[in-house]
A and B are shown apart, each in its own frame.
Chain A
Amino acid sequence: AQKITQTQPGMFVQEKEAVTLDCTYDTSDPSYGLFWYKQPSSGEMIFLIYQGSYDQQNATEGRYSLNFQKARKSANLVISASQLGDSAMYFCAMRGAPERGNNRLAFGKGNQVVVIP
Chain B
Amino acid sequence: NAGVTQTPKFRILKIGQSMTLQCAQDMNHNYMYWYRQDPGMGLKLIYYSVGAGITDKGEVPNGYNVSRSTTEDFPLRLELAAPSQTSVYFCASSYSTGEGGYTFGSGTRLTVV
A interface residues (Cβ-Cβ under 8 A, vs B): 4, 6, 33, 35, 37, 43-45, 47, 50, 91, 93, 95, 98, 101, 103-110
Contacts and interface: CB of A to CB of B under 8 A. Distances in A.
Name the residue among A98, A104, A108 with the largest chain B CB count within 10 angstroms: A104
A8 to B, nearest CB: 13
Contacts of A44: 104, 106-107
Tell me the interface secondary structure of chain B in the complex: strand
B41 A109 contact: yes
Given A91-B42, A93-B43, 10 more contacts: A35-B101, A50-B101, A98-B96, A98-B98, A101-B50, A104-B33, A104-B58, A105-B45, A109-B40, A110-B41
B74 to A, nearest CB: 14
Nearest to A47: B101
A28 B45 CA distance: 19
Contact of A104 (B41, B48, B97, B104): B48
Interface string B23-59: 0000000010101000011111100101000000010
A33 B97 CA distance: 10
The bracket for how many chain B residues form the interface is 20 to 34
Contacts of B41: 109-110
Given A45-B90, A103-B94, A35 B106 contact: no
A105 B50 contact: no
8 tightest CB-CB pairs across the interface, nearest first? A107-B42, A45-B104, A107-B43, A109-B42, A47-B101, A98-B97, A95-B98, A44-B106
A6 B41 CA distance: 11
Contacts of B42: 4, 6, 91, 107-110
A110 B96 CA distance: 25
A105 B88 contact: no
Contacts of A93: 43
B94 to A, nearest CB: 7
A35 B48 CA distance: 19
A45 B90 CA distance: 9
29 contacts: A4-B42, A6-B42, A35-B101, A43-B88, A43-B106, A43-B107, A43-B109, A44-B104, A45-B90, A45-B104, A45-B107, A50-B101, A91-B43, A93-B43, A95-B98, A98-B97, A98-B98, A103-B96, A103-B98, A105-B43, A105-B45, A105-B102, A107-B35, A107-B42, A107-B43, A107-B44, A109-B41, A109-B42, A110-B41
